[in-house]
Structure 1
Amino acid sequence: MKQDAFFHTPSDAVRFWVQHGQQRVGASITSAVLHYHFCARSVDDQALDTYLAHADEIDAAVRRRLATGSLEPVLLREIDLLPPSDEPSSRLRP
């Protein structure tokens, strides 16, 4: 539930839970990832507000990570927020 999300100051990350099947899975995303992916041109963005504004997209990224075998807690990286693709990313090719 999105209202359970909170900003964890020591880790500089938003911590939240995502429903995955019958289980709620803990996850987090750093304020830096939120800023650079969603608010790169902003100077006064707030991590929790940014998470709440994009929660559906972020939660979907957690579910994709879980589908590939990630274990709880899931720490999202910026690459996890990129749209899924059927082919390997050209950025990973030499």
Structure 2
Amino acid sequence: MADAPFFHDASGTVRFSVTVDGQDVNASIGREVLRYHYRTAENADPLATYGQHIDEFDAAVRRRLAAGSSAPIMLRENDLRAPA
């Protein structure tokens, strides 16, 4: 079972895991990416924003893995856009 997501203050990222083919894949997304992509307030809780969009992040991690990336995956704003 994947670990619960948490905010890592030192790096400014939400860290989370996605289970893919029975394996937990560690991933993260930066506070700024969350803020700019979802247009949240500067003082918005990154973990709350993450919680509202979990399915999008899981899908983005899966796309990155399918494209050949290796873990850990650090999502960028570009990863959150739907593939063409």
Q: TM-score, structure 2 length as denominator?
A: 0.92
Q: Distance in 1 between matches of 2:33 and 2:2?
A: 18
Structure 1, unaligned runs of 5 or more: 86-94
Number of aligned residue pairs = 84
Q: Secondary structure of 1:15's partner?
A: strand
Query: Which amino acid in the other structure matches residue 75 of structure 1?
Result: M
Query: Which amino acid in the other structure matches residue 11 of structure 2?
Result: S
Query: Which amino acid in the other structure matches residue 31 of structure 2?
Result: S
Displacement of 1:3 in angstroms is 6.7
The ranges of structure 1 where at least 4 consecutive aligned residues each deviate by more than 4 angstroms after the TM superposition are none
Alpha-carbon spacing, 1:2–1:37, altered in 2? closer, same or farther (3 Å): farther
Structure 2, unaligned runs of 5 or more: none
Match of 1:75 in 2: 74
The structure number with the bigger radius of gyration is: 1
Q: Secondary structure of 1:69's partner?
A: coil
Match of 2:4 in 1: 4
Displacement of 1:45 in angstroms is 1.3
Q: Secondary structure of 1:49's partner?
A: helix
Kindly report the root-mean-square deviation, in angstroms, between the aligned alpha carbons of the 2 structures.
1.5
Query: Which amino acid in the other structure matches residue 73 of structure 1?
Result: P
Q: TM-score, structure 1 length as denominator?
A: 0.83
Q: Secondary structure of 2:44's partner?
A: coil
Alpha-carbon spacing, 1:3–1:24, altered in 2? closer, same or farther (3 Å): closer
